[in-house]
Amino acid sequence: MGTALIYDEEMTNYKLLWVDPACKIEVPERLTVSYEALVESGLADRCMSIPVREATDADILLVHSEDYLDAVKTTPYKTLEELKEFTLQFGDVYFHPNIYHCAKLAAGAALQLVDSVLTGKMRNGMALVRPPGHHSMCSAASGFCVFNNVAIAAKYAKQKYGVKRVLIVDWDIHHGQGVQYCFEDDPSVLYFSWHRYEHQKYWPHLRESDFDIVGKEKGAGFNINVPWNKVGMQNSDYLSVFFHILLPVAYEFSPDLVLVCAGFDSGIGDPEGKMCATPDIFAHLTHLLMNLAGGKVCAVLEGGYNLTSLAQSVCQTVQTLLGDPVPRPSNLDGPCKSALESLHCVRSAHRRYWSSIRHAADLPSCEISTKHIKLAEDKLDKEEEEKSAEEEVWPQPPKRVPSAIRTAVVLPEGVACPDRCKCLMSAEDPDPLIANKFRENFLKDADDSDALTTLSSLIALAERMEKNEICSGLALVRDISMAIMCVIQHTAAALSNRVLVVCVGDGKVPSHGTDDGKTLVVQFSSKKSEEQKCKYYIPVCLKKGCQDASGFMQAVLGLLLPLGYEYDPSLVLLVKMPDSGLCDTVWKQLIGLLQGLAQGHTLVLMQDVERACVGPTASSLLGDAAPSLGQLHAPLPEDVEAVESLRHRLKADWKLLQTTAPETR
């Protein structure tokens, strides 16, 4: 199954017909530059183009009132003066004779995308639409939005396909208040939004956009607001919120469908957002969502007003939906103080609803109250306009060239090569020099020619991954620790290399290279390790080892991913120790998530008895979405304690582990 792309140039055929400074940025070119960038980069051709359709009245009435729909229906026949008059009843939006038609196409595009994914025709997809939707409400247009495309899509998915739980991730820089109002008492739709807020000083200046608004009645806990109280937020800030709020809750919620209010005004250079996150961050945000709901992710364009930044961010998102490896997360230097305060506030507001963040520290009541400096809005907006917007510049996103071979395997005799994989067995005798080195350093039994063959194939695989000829690999070996040593020593030889070694299960893991940081070892096991712990050797002791999905996933999302992203390895060596107790679905989730690192260069080592695991492992390495884990129960208190105490001990060295602002004395 492929990636759907839904776009129709008819949606460019409306624009602002009068002077209105607040609306002048919402131009037809937003859509043309996005689509043309996809065509130019060859990404459009790799997608399946799905036609738009007009949303029907019934579709629109899933969210909007009849009065509102009837009123909007009159706009095509209005004169310019009547359109201006009609517009005055709403805020920061404009009407045009053709905008009703385009609004029906935008909503219809989202529904076509949902149909393609929920019928199983497509794996995931993106709809490039305007007008955007997330600000529009039951009976009102707002913030350039006429119909709430994503809210309609969520209602439609539940009604037509019986979808039980929908996750809406709104990474646009504005609060989608229309979505919040639509689902605030609905526990079947989890709405997550971050947004520029500045303690209510920023548009739309709503008290209900703050972190303490969590949803109503049965919907309490299913509305997550992350206010950014300063501009200039960077990649680290966004990733920290994913690792420590969105992902733990999303995995606990276990959605059947993920809808993204994909606004790119949260990217660098945008005049509205004034943030500093670079376009490649959207590759990571998309990737981190792609193992939820069995990969059923539907992204619908919302905002984005810097045409360069917008086009690059759209390409980063679509290329990730297509399954291409994501760029390395360069120089993440940890979340800023203001982001940590927001993180702390949101986690403490939601800890009572979600067991995955139950342990979050409570808010000291005095601090960080939701300061509402209600200043005169027009004064503020004017201030905003006056400041000269210095042109932001940022580097081109790195080229993301998929390897010729996605996954290669090194298997013992008699183990079938999984389909879509390349089997590597060095037929010719290994280079005598290397063979001797192996004999001296690794082989217990010098004449063990099998081991020699396996090791030389393994190194050949690692070398071809380094050259990006092969993206990921899987090897079945008899002696796991020998294989680990061999790969680490080989890889460490190249100066710029850093290897993240992730071990699941008990067993001795070589600590070679952890003293100088060339290697970072994270081992999940049920045994306390007596090994001296240092910054680069992190044993994670879980009560049931890797058998309890909740505890394990909490450790992966809140500990392993932040560490891995901050460490930014060139290779991930993922080792499944014998009898790790890890079930296939959790194993596949782990493989899927770790491919966000090292441009997807994941090398999996398993004991040669694990033949049954070759197929499932290969499937995940090939980019197939991992099956959903189902709703996760509360992690064991011991596991929460273990992960929390590790995080507290390590956060001085690893800034992405922080979830609260450092004590300000």
Ligand X SMILES: NCCCNCCCCCC(=O)CS
User: Rule CB under 5 A: which residues touch Zn ion?
Assistant: 172, 174, 263, 265, 303
Q: Toward ligand X, which CB reaches closer, 373 or 433?
A: 373
Spatial CB neighbours of 443, under 8 Å, sequence gap ≥ 6: 451, 452, 455, 482
Tokens 């607040």 -> residue:
22
Query: Interface with ligand X includes 303 (CB under 6 A)?
Result: yes
Q: Whole-angstrom Cα distance, residue 377 to residue 156?
A: 36
Binding residue for ligand X, selected from 384, 448, 463, 610, defined by CB under 6 A:
384
Q: Whole-angstrom Cα distance, residue 382 to residue 509?
A: 60
Q: Toward ligand X, which CB reaches closer, 272 or 624?
A: 272
Kindly report the number of other CB atoms within 10 A of residue 440's CB atom. Answer: 9
Spatial CB neighbours of 215, under 8 Å, sequence gap ≥ 6: 184, 185, 187, 221, 222, 223
Binding residue for ligand X, selected from 108, 178, 248, 263, defined by CB under 6 A:
263
Q: Toward Zn ion, which CB reaches closer, 123 or 196?
A: 196
Q: What sign does the dihedral 120-124-130-135 (CA atoms) show?
A: positive
Q: Which residues pair with 228 in a beta bridge?
A: 196
Give the nearest distance from C-beta 245 to ligand X in angstroms.
21
Q: Toward Zn ion, which CB reaches closer, 59 or 170?
A: 170
Q: Toward ligand X, which CB reaches closer, 390 or 516?
A: 390
Query: Interface with ligand X includes 473 (CB under 6 A)?
Result: no
22 binds, among ligand X, Zn ion, none (CB under 5 to 8 A by kind): ligand X
Contact in structure between 261 and 283 (CB atoms under 8 Å)? no
Query: Interface with ligand X includes 265 (CB under 6 A)?
Result: yes
Give the nearest distance from C-beta 23 to Zn ion in angstroms.
13
Report the SS3 class of residue 657.
helix
Q: Which two tokens stand for residue 635?
A: 């992690």
Binding residue for ligand X, selected from 115, 256, 280, 302, defined by CB under 6 A:
302
Q: Toward ligand X, which CB reaches closer, 228 or 536?
A: 228
Q: How many chain residues bind ligand X (CB under 6 A)? A: 16
Q: Whole-angstrom Cα distance, residue 108 to residue 106?
A: 5
Query: What letter represents residue 603's amino acid?
Result: L
Binding residue for ligand X, selected from 8, 115, 170, 172, defined by CB under 6 A:
172
Query: Interface with ligand X includes 270 (CB under 6 A)?
Result: no
Q: Toward Zn ion, which CB reaches closer, 30 or 174?
A: 174
Residue with the shortest CB distance to Zn ion: 303
Binding residue for ligand X, selected from 7, 35, 100, 144, defined by CB under 6 A:
144
Query: Interface with ligand X includes 143 (CB under 6 A)?
Result: yes
Q: Toward Zn ion, which CB reaches closer, 265 or 280?
A: 265
Spatial CB neighbours of 378, under 8 Å, sequence gap ≥ 6: none
Binding residue for ligand X, selected from 184, 272, 280, 566, defined by CB under 6 A:
272
Query: What letter represents residue 393's amino acid?
Result: V
Binding residue for ligand X, selected from 64, 158, 165, 174, defined by CB under 6 A:
174
Pairing of strands 166-170, 189-196: parallel
Residue with the shortest CB distance to ligand X: 303
Tokens 């939820």 -> residue:
292
Query: Interface with ligand X includes 203 (CB under 6 A)?
Result: yes
Binding residue for ligand X, selected from 198, 381, 392, 644, defined by CB under 6 A:
381
Q: Toward Zn ion, which CB reaches closer, 275 or 326?
A: 275
Query: Interface with ligand X includes 30 (CB under 6 A)?
Result: no
Q: Which of 564, 515, 493, 540 is nearest to 649 (CA)?
A: 540
Catalytic status, residue 135:
yes
Q: Which of 422, 430, 398, 569 is nearest to 491 (CA)?
A: 569
Query: Interface with ligand X includes 61 (CB under 6 A)?
Result: no
Q: What does each C-alpha distance from 146 to 68, 135, 149, 585 come to in angstroms?
A: 10, 8, 9, 41
Q: Whole-angstrom Cα distance, residue 219 to residue 221?
A: 6
Q: What does each C-alpha distance from 316 to 280, 333, 402 come to in angstroms?
A: 6, 22, 14
Q: Toward ligand X, which CB reaches closer, 26 or 506?
A: 26
Query: Interface with ligand X includes 27 (CB under 6 A)?
Result: no
Query: Interface with ligand X includes 135 (CB under 6 A)?
Result: yes
Give the nearest distance from C-beta 226 to ligand X in angstroms.
16
Give the nearest distance from C-beta 1 to Zn ion in angstroms.
30
Q: Which two tokens stand for residue 216?
A: 């109503």
Kindly report the number of other CB atoms within 10 A of residue 261's CB atom. Answer: 28
Spatial CB neighbours of 628, under 8 Å, sequence gap ≥ 6: 254, 256, 292, 293, 294, 585
Say which of 64, 96, 135, 195 is annotated catalytic: 135
Kindly report the number of other CB atoms within 10 A of residue 378's CB atom. Answer: 8
552 binds, among ligand X, Zn ion, none (CB under 5 to 8 A by kind): none
448 binds, among Zn ion, ligand X, none (CB under 5 to 8 A by kind): none
Query: Interface with ligand X includes 22 (CB under 6 A)?
Result: yes
Contact in structure between 595 and 324 (CB atoms under 8 Å)? no
Query: Interface with ligand X includes 210 (CB under 6 A)?
Result: no
Query: Interface with ligand X includes 130 (CB under 6 A)?
Result: no
Length of the chain (residues): 665
Contact in structure between 303 and 624 (CB atoms under 8 Å)? no
135 binds, among Zn ion, ligand X, none (CB under 5 to 8 A by kind): ligand X
Give the nearest distance from C-beta 193 to Zn ion in angstroms.
10
Query: Interface with ligand X includes 531 (CB under 6 A)?
Result: no
The C-alpha angle with vertex 501 and arms to 498 and 507, in degrees rounded to 5, equals 150
170 binds, among ligand X, Zn ion, none (CB under 5 to 8 A by kind): none
Kindly report the number of other CB atoms within 10 A of residue 528's CB atom. Answer: 9
Q: Whole-angstrom Cα distance, residue 151 to residue 370?
A: 27
Within residues 213-242, the interface with ligand X by CB under 6 A covers none
Query: Hey, what's the torsion of the CAs at 314, 320, 326, 329, to 10 degrees?
Result: 50
92 binds, among Zn ion, ligand X, none (CB under 5 to 8 A by kind): ligand X
Query: Interface with ligand X includes 175 (CB under 6 A)?
Result: no
Within residues 87-106, the interface with ligand X by CB under 6 A covers 92
203 binds, among ligand X, Zn ion, none (CB under 5 to 8 A by kind): ligand X
Give the nearest distance from C-beta 108 to Zn ion in angstroms.
21
The C-alpha angle with vertex 596 and arms to 592 and 598, in degrees rounded to 5, equals 120
Contact in structure between 185 and 217 (CB atoms under 8 Å)? yes
* Active site residues per annotation: 135
Contacts with ligand X by CB under 6 A lie at 22, 92, 132, 135, 143-144, 172, 174, 203, 263, 265, 272, 302-303, 381, 384
